[in-house]
Amino acid sequence: MIEMAFFPVRTVSGKELEVALLIETRAKAMGLDVRSVVVPPRIKGFVIVEAPAHFIVLEVTRGIKHVKGGPGKKMKKEEVLKLVKPIPIIELINVGDIVELVAGPFKGMKAKVEGKDVEKNEVILNILEAAYPLQITVPADYVKPVRR
């Protein structure tokens, strides 16, 4: 069995999806062994192509308008998984941050984070738009960070 490798390809920022779709179409048309094309959500300007060899990625990306550079050095599978795995929202929120509620009865209101419980995936909020101090505990998925 041929061992697959991951190769990063530099693209114009914001054109990653277009490049990925063009790579897929070209690989099928040319009959090249490209197993997957990954557009990492947190990294702008890169597409990751899974293929058995460097020259296959070079051939499939040659002449594509928004490709800035040829395939880079081989990446390990663990590195690609780190780029694709989503970060839980509770890790992005810190005590003292201002957040907006996106669900529940207080939807649309702004609040200040007073505390968080990582194990329960909950945040303790102080609603800023209330007439009196109002503390609530909501799931971390109910909030969106606004500013620090």
Closest CA to 9 of 83, 73, 52: 73
Q: Which CATH number covers residue 138?
A: 2.30.30.30
- Residue written as token pair 């702004």: 110
Please tell me the total count of domains within the chain.
Answer: 2
Expressed as residue numbers, the domain containing 15 is 5-84
Compute the distance between CA of residue 51 and CA of residue 55 in angstroms, rounded to an integer: 9
**Do both 80 and 9 map to the same domain?**
yes
Identify the bridge partners of residue 29 per DSSP, sorted by sequence position.
none
Cβ contact 23:49 at 8 Å: yes
Residues 74 and 119 in one domain: no
Q: List, for residues 41-71, the tens digit of each pLDDT value.
A: 888 899 999 999 999 999 999 989 999 887 8
Evaluate if pTM is beyond 0.75: no
Same domain, 49 and 104: no
For tokens 């040659």, what's the residue? 62
Contact by Cβ (8 Å): 146, 100 = yes
pLDDT digits (tens, 9 = 90+) for 76-96: 888 888 888 877 888 888 898
